[in-house]
Structure 1
Amino acid sequence: MDPTITPEAANHVLFHFGQGGYQAGSFTTHLLAAFATADEQHFFRLSEAFPEYGAAVAAIQYDPKGVTNLKAIATSGEVAA
């Protein structure tokens, strides 16, 4: 099953990568920094604990349409898988 990206996670990830959204609290800000710098093994382990953030970070880093998709999730208020 694909992880669900919530509007909140989408907004936090967009902000972290300078693409809009809004800033997360201090824990989530540090979590996103860890995701952004993690090697593959650690990224996977973080994603097991925080799947919505793992999916959103992977989208913005590796999907050419990731920013567009995350912005759609962030503004729609709907949860996307």
Structure 2
Amino acid sequence: MNNVAVIAPHPDDETLGCGGTLLKHKSNNDEIHWIIATDLQESEGYGVSAIKERDDEIQKAGALFGFDSISQLNLPTTKVDE
């Protein structure tokens, strides 16, 4: 069994970039871990409903992939390079 981590700047980058590979690892009984760098924040102009919707989408995607862990670094979406 292997441990596999994917670091995604934004939610959905893991699916677009390596979704098939992640599913293959999961089917091989490997542990898969998702690290999300950014997070929507009210200070960037995102409303509470948009933030909740994004959080719900993350949980749904995590369940579909079967991630063993989901971690969020909570960096602002517009300041990743700082």
TM-score scaled by length of structure 1: 0.29
Q: Could you say which structure has the larger radius of gyration?
A: 2
Greater share of residues in strand: 2
Structure having greater relative contact order (Cα 8 Å, sep ≥ 6): 1
Greater share of residues in helix: 1
